[in-house]
Amino acid sequence: MPDPVLQVTDLVKRFGDFAAVNGVSFEIGKGQILGLLGANGAGKTTVINMMLGLITPSEGRIQVFGKDLAAHRIEILRRMNFCSTYTQLPGNLLVSQNLKVFGLLYRVPDLERRIDEVLELLEISHLKKRVSGHLSAGESTRLNLCKALLNRPELLLLDEPTASLDPDIADKVRKAVKRVREEDGATMLYTSHNMRDVEEVCDQVIFMHKGKILHFGTPAEIVAHFQEKSLEDVFIRVARGGDLETAKLVD
Amino acid sequence: MNPHVIQALVLRYLFLYTRTPVRMVELLFWPLVHLLVWGYLTVFLQKNTGDSFPYAITFLIGAVILWDVLFRAQQGVAIFFLEDVWSRNLLNIFAAPVTTFDYLGATYVAGLLRAAVTSTILGVLSVILYSFNVLELRWYLVPFVLNLLVFGWALGMISTALIVRWGPAAETLAWATPFFIQPFAAVFYPVDGLPVVMQAFSKALPCSYIFEGMRDVLKDGDLPMRDLVIASGLNVVYLAAAGVLFVSVLKTARDKGLLTKFAAQ
Ligand SMILES: Nc1ncnc2c1ncn2[C@@H]1O[C@H](COP(=O)(O)OP(=O)(O)O)[C@@H](O)[C@H]1O
Ligand SMILES: [Mg+2]
């Protein structure tokens, strides 16, 4: 594997007595896209939030670009970015104003040009002077993604970027994500409920269940391992708890 | 503190106000109402008490203007945070390369801008309507305003810390915090107008010395230097304590996942 961009070791997050993330370790090599799968509540978003420093781990270690996240948070955040279904850009600002603010926050050089580039990449150049709050769900997701790409992040965290998108727009988003990886060599962590996304975009996949990693491999390996027909079937089986022997196996 | 980051955060704030001019109404409505109420009360008292009132009663108008400096500074800080909560932008900001000091710096600037806008307008209006010129306070105006700004920032940080800790249910604190202290702050009446027990509380607030000082200056043209020194000293203590509270609440928020809970609401 190429040099790991992200290394997570024995990560645990407890909220009170409840362990939302319970001993997770993995790493992502440069230029790789790792899919994080699992039913609602599996702990995917909590993992991502810990990577962003929004939540402090109860135990374990996160290293990004070979540095400890806790000790070098700001320096690391400058080189990464994220896009999540749980956030929006301020609705009363114009698209161009929002991108300008975040471009300055991330100290993006030649900002005006970069704004045009990312809008172009996600095919929303025509929305530049629109009010952000007036965009449709698909448009606003793509705007979030524009914000996430502004600083040419070396590590990009995408939390359900295609949720609530129609198949056409979801396809455009997948293509943009792949292009960014090819052109910038960006490394990504990608969560999704859309198995099509995962099969098309991710090199490796982690299956999470109740805060633990059930299985790790390429999409094809996972399907073979669970002896199912498709990733979707694996997902359903795992979500319904029909995997307990496997869980014990991995433990 | 990184000036680029602060500039970006303040720019967002300015965009917000230029994009939605109706927000200007909120910025001006209450100070205007206060100015009119206290201004006409002053006019009424002036007509009906003759010379019997102990000193220039126009201090009520000065009080309205100076109180507003404190109030707006506090609001600038507290509303800055809430704007991001309301627009579901909080995580975008807190997951960006923004240090706590950058963030606080930006909220101070926001408070300063709010205070500057309203107090300038109130200052001009009070000359026109009541022939009261706040510049009568001469150079004292500088330490007065600085002290009120700093205390406003400290109160703003305390309000925000409580909102982070207790969630959106505590949002009203953003508006209410300054009014908790107003009765003891000697804004419209002197400290010795309060019962003795409350006077102790009053003496622990830096702004009490400023409002007392304002009345002294309007009456005698001078004030005890000691008061300014005490006010500034207290302010340093409040600002530091509020900063420590804010930082420790943010740490708790990261431990308990409070910031991300906000985003999910
Ligand atoms: N801030 C929090 N406080 C308490 N529990 C939380 C918090 N955030 C997440 N959880 C819980 O942790 C579990 C994992 O949540 P999450 O990471 O959002 O899952 P996913 O993204 O896989 O759907 C859920 O049961 C959720 O209720
Ligand atoms: Mg999630």
The complex's ipTM works out to: 0.91
Q: Report yes or no on A159 lying in a domain.
A: no
CA distances from A197 to A16, A35, A208, A240 (A): 34, 9, 17, 21
What's the rounded Cα separation, in Å, for the pair A246 and A75?
A: 40
Residues 6+ apart with CB under 8 A from B13: B80, B83, B106, B110, B113
What's the rounded Cα separation, in Å, for the pair A251 and B225?
A: 72
**Strand-pair partners of A11:** A24
Quick: pLDDT tens for B1-36. Answer: 889 999 999 999 999 888 888 888 878 888 888 888
The answer, yes or no, to whether residue A68 has pLDDT greater than 80, is: yes
Q: Report yes or no on A85 lying in a domain.
A: no
**pTM score, two decimals?**
0.91
What integer is the mean pLDDT of A132-137? Answer: 94
pLDDT of residue A119: 97
Domain containing A56 equals 1-79+187-251
User: Atom 18 (ligand 1): residue with closest C-alpha?
Assistant: A45
Question: For chain A, what percent of residues have pLDDT higher than 70?
Answer: 95
Residue indicated by tokens 């009345």: B215
Top pLDDT among B46 and A249 is at B46
A43 C-beta closer than 6 A to ligand 1? yes
Quick: pLDDT tens for B120-147. Answer: 989 998 888 888 888 888 888 889 999 9
A211 C-beta closer than 6 A to ligand 1? no
Strands A187-191 and A155-159: parallel
What integer is the mean pLDDT of A230-250? Answer: 68
Here the CATH number for the domain that contains residue A193 is 3.40.50.300
**pLDDT band at residue A205 using 50, 70 and 90 as cut-offs:** very high
Token duo for residue B3: 């000036």
The answer, yes or no, to whether residue A246 has pLDDT greater than 60, is: no
Q: Dump strand ranges (E) for chain A.
A: 4-15, 18-29, 33-37, 59-64, 67-68, 80-84, 155-159, 187-191, 204-209, 212-217
Q: Report yes or no on A109 lying in a domain.
A: no
DSSP H helical segments within chain B, as ranges?
A: 3-19, 22-49, 59-86, 90-94, 100-130, 141-166, 173-181, 196-203, 206-220, 225-256, 258-264
Count the domains in chain A. 1
A166-170, B70-74, B241-245: which has the highest mean pLDDT? B241-245
Instruction: For residue A217, give the amino acid letter.
Output: G
CA distances from A71 to A5, A63, A77, B196, B245 (A): 16, 10, 12, 51, 21
**Strand-pair partners of A28:** A6
Q: How far is the CA of A193 from the centre of ligand 2 (A)?
A: 9
Check CB contact of A86 with chain B, cutoff 8 Å: yes
The answer, yes or no, to whether residue B261 has pLDDT greater than 60, is: yes
Token duo for residue B195: 């019962």
Pick the closest to residue A98 from A76, A124, A74 (CA basis). A124
**Strand-pair partners of A26:** A8
**pLDDT band at residue A251 using 50, 70 and 90 as cut-offs:** very low
pLDDT of residue B2: 87
Question: A227: phi > 0 → left, psi -120 to 50 → alpha, else beta; which?
Answer: left
pLDDT of residue B57: 66
SS3 content of chain A, % helix, strand, coil (to 5): 40, 25, 35
pLDDT of residue A1: 56
Task: State residue A30 phi and psi, 5-degree precision.
Answer: -60, 130
Q: Report yes or no on A112 lying in a domain.
A: no
Span of A89-98, A101-110, A170-179 with lowest mean pLDDT: A170-179
Question: For chain B, what percent of residues have pLDDT higher than 90?
Answer: 45
**Between B8, B95, B256, which is nearest A53 by CB?**
B95
Mean pLDDT of chain B: 88
How would you label A7-44 residue by residue, b for 16+ Cβ within 10 Å and e otherwise?
Answer: bbeebbbeeeeebbbbebebebebbbbbbbbbbeebbb
**pLDDT band at residue A179 using 50, 70 and 90 as cut-offs:** very high
Nearest-neighbour CA in chain A from B2: distance (Å): 10
The CA angle A100-B96-B152, to the nearest 5 degrees, is 90
Task: Say how many CA atoms lie within 13 Å of B45 toward its Cβ.
Answer: 17
Q: How far is the CA of B238 from the centre of ligand 2 (A)?
A: 40
pLDDT of residue A195: 84
Residues 6+ apart with CB under 8 A from A183: none
pLDDT of residue A153: 97
DSSP class per residue in B11-42: HHHHHHHHH-THHHHHHHHHHHHHHHHHHHHH
Question: Rounded to an integer, what is the distance from CA B132 to the centroid of its chain?
Answer: 22
Top pLDDT among B62 and B230 is at B230
Indicate which ligand has the atom closest to the C-alpha of B167.
1
Spell out which residues of chain A touch residue B83, defining contact as CB-CB under 8 Å: 90
For A50, name the nearest residue in chain B, comparing CA atoms only: B254
Quick: pLDDT tens for A17-33. Answer: 999 999 999 999 999 99
CB atoms within 10 A of CB B169: 8
Task: Please give the radius of gyration of chain B, using alpha carbons only, rounded to the nearest integer.
Answer: 19
Q: B97, A75: Cβ pair inside 8 Å? A: yes
For A12, name the nearest residue in chain B, comparing CA atoms only: B255
A14 C-beta closer than 6 A to ligand 1? no
The answer, yes or no, to whether residue B93 has pLDDT greater than 80, is: yes
Top pLDDT among B53 and A38 is at A38
Ligand 2 is an ion; residues with CB less than 5 A from it: A 45
DSSP class per residue in B166-203: H-GGGTTHHHHHHHHHGGGTTSSS-GGGS-HHHHHHHH
**pLDDT band at residue B56 using 50, 70 and 90 as cut-offs:** low
CA distances from A176 to A18, A56, A218, A234, B88 (A): 37, 31, 21, 27, 25
What's the rounded Cα separation, in Å, for the pair B207 and B153?
A: 12
**pLDDT band at residue B165 using 50, 70 and 90 as cut-offs:** very high
pLDDT of residue A142: 95
